[in-house]
Chains A and B, each alone.
Chain A
């Protein structure tokens, strides 16, 4: 007689169990990275350049600076363009141009990152004749673009039309309405989208392999090759040196903490 209740209890317990189970891979990743990485991280690790193989000490300053510069270039390229496209799509949801643009942006999001690396190679590296931070930034910017477009469009669509009409009815021209009413109203959402985009590209390795290329020295020139956290992890992890392996763990640990905190901030912002 109570079979029905027992059955539904059992299903509910099973689902809870599976939900918990699904968090295990992530927790394991976090556990191993912290276990192997956290001991490597110290002030010297963050603030000095790599030492030649065999010499103890040295750090990953080149990769930290490189990743920051690459992210800045990607932001500079993708944010203004992405926001403008997002505004267009939310303002003109129907229509052929919007349909086409949305379709292209969705396809771009699905393009494998290595292919985007090749595109950046053809567009920037080949004409310039050498690898550069700029080309890596272009590759990451292209990867971020669809994310910025999508999040801008989605958040602006949520802003009630009444707010826009209120502004227009005060005699405020359309462009000022967009700049001073619509964008401020959607700002936290747009920022959330940008942060999610940064979290997405921060760990990308493939598009940087033949664009940013890597650089064992500190470089601030965007026209020269530059290192990046994922590139350094890749190089160090496949090297034969034990010291480099532990540095790769340390760098992974920093990268994971960075991406994780971006995701947490994004969550907190979008909950507001």
Chain B
């Protein structure tokens, strides 16, 4: 049996009257990397923003359908994330954005534990030190920054900042991390390092990554979803979708004919 961590049922999302995500039903496999690819404006970012309830922050945004977070699939403990406090959802499902966005007023150290600081969760100094060191090691940033943890996070390079943002999301010990085109603002070397990092992380956390880069989806993902004009066209294991796509549109996208 496949261990599912998140499941959507007929998820439809819109801004104002404009429907961006149409009737999407899919299941995300625990401790895997799922890539969501598709041309610009196909609704892939909106889809993942429905997973952590960030979509509803936009004015006139609407969400219909269900999203379940599954804590333990053997006991069938499902949480309808639209029935609980969005703050709880966002602590269980972290997010990393297109442009690195460390908090400008915080040091590297504070940025890692920002989720605790800002939520007013008190940590002992030793606990905080441990979380910072452990998390920075996970994102392979520790060696680069351990001597300047009290410098502002914004002094780091773009790639380092993005790894810091991944660390910030990881530090909250979420079930899932959503990555919204995390490398689109980075150079190829930094991109490669983030991709390596993502592959290392899947043992600890489930990763859903939005990308418009077909190559990236192919390189790192276990499962891939292809979206086109708001619809989920195809979804399955990456090697199968990439070698034998069952839908004509997917084939055209993979061949670079659309997108």
Contacts and interface: CB of A to CB of B under 8 A. Distances in A.
Contacts of B120: 176
A163 B94 contact: no
Contacts of B210: none
Nearest to A167: B118
Contacts of A173: 87
B78 to A, nearest CB: 20
A166 B90 CA distance: 11
B94 A170 contact: yes
Given A160-B101, A162-B97, A169 B118 contact: no
Contact of A165 (B54, B102, B117): B54
A126 interface: no
Q: Which 5 pairs from chain A and chain B are nearest by CB?
A: A171-B91, A171-B90, A162-B101, A170-B115, A169-B95
A172 interface: yes
A166 B97 contact: yes
A68 interface: no
Contacts of B94: 169-170
Interface residues of B, number: 27
Interface stretch (B10-18, B132-140, B165-173): B165-173
Interface in B73-105: 87-91, 94-95, 97, 99, 101-105
Interface of B: 52, 54, 57, 87-91, 94-95, 97, 99, 101-105, 114-115, 117-120, 165, 168-169, 172
A169 B54 contact: yes
A269 interface: no
Given A170-B94, A187-B105, 7 more contacts: A163-B103, A168-B54, A170-B90, A170-B118, A172-B119, A181-B105, A185-B105
A177 interface: yes
Interface secondary structure of A, over-half rule: helix
Given A176-B119, A176-B120, A170 B169 contact: yes
A180 B120 CA distance: 10
Contacts of B89: 171
A112 interface: no
A57 interface: no
A79 to B, nearest CB: 20
A165 B94 CA distance: 11
Contacts of B114: 166-167, 170
A184 interface: yes
A163 B90 contact: no
29 contacts: A160-B99, A163-B101, A163-B104, A165-B97, A166-B101, A166-B114, A166-B168, A167-B103, A169-B52, A169-B54, A170-B115, A170-B119, A170-B168, A171-B87, A171-B88, A171-B89, A171-B90, A171-B115, A171-B172, A172-B115, A172-B118, A172-B119, A173-B87, A176-B118, A176-B119, A181-B103, A181-B105, A185-B104, A185-B105
